[in-house]
Amino acid sequence: MQRLKPKGRISETRLRVRYAETDAMGIVHHSSYIPWFELGRSDWLREAGLPYSEFEKMGYYLTVTEVCARYYHPAVYDEMVTVYTWVEEVRSRAVTLSYDVRDEQDRRLVMACTRHVCITHDGKPARLPDALYDVLKAQIEA
């Protein structure tokens, strides 16, 4: 979370906060944001022309090796939030994405990043297949 400046293409995922995502503090539970980041990168990849479900069918997973999230302001039930997603860094075997979650007043709720490595379906580390590497590289430099 060192760099907060988005770069390359940024996707926008809009979602409405679910009651099930709240906790007894009356706000969204901190673990409930994590699947939102996943939604964000799903949308980023789909818009880049390579849905993650297709990537999986090629025999790979992007397994999560790190998640960091900083919480600025709590989201509450029923509000609309936007997850901004971009690719922070691409390596031959790893990808880092960043997320900026905002409310309707464009107030920052959460900043996060996730790091992923490419593995085959039997769990072996692998180089990112060209189909993914090229898409990521093109977009990050766009």
The reply to whether 125 sits near a second copy by the rule CB under 8 A is no
Q: Which is nearer to a second copy, 40 or 136 (CB)?
A: 40
Residue from the set 38, 47, 89, 103 that interacts with a second copy by CB under 8 A = 38
- Angle subtended at Cα 61 by Cα 59 and Cα 62, rounded to the nearest 5 degrees: 145
Name 139's Cβ contacts closer than 8 Å, sequence gap at least 6: 8, 9, 48, 87
Name 42's Cβ contacts closer than 8 Å, sequence gap at least 6: 51, 52
The reply to whether 59 sits near a second copy by the rule CB under 8 A is no
Which position among 23, 78, 100, 134 bears the catalytic label?
23
The reply to whether 69 sits near a second copy by the rule CB under 8 A is yes
- Angle subtended at Cα 59 by Cα 122 and Cα 53, rounded to the nearest 5 degrees: 120
Cβ 79 to a second copy, closest distance in Å? 9
The reply to whether 29 sits near a second copy by the rule CB under 8 A is yes
Specify whether the CB–CB gap between 94 and 127 falls below 8 A: no
Cβ 142 to a second copy, closest distance in Å? 24
Cβ 125 to a second copy, closest distance in Å? 13
CA distances to 49, 61, 92 from 54, rounded to whole Å, are 10, 10, 19
Residue from the set 12, 14, 58, 63 that interacts with a second copy by CB under 8 A = 63
The encoded tokens of residue 87 equal 């690719």
Active site residues: 23
Residues that bind a second copy (CB under 8 A): 16, 18-27, 29-31, 34-35, 38-39, 42, 51-53, 61, 63-71, 74, 76-78
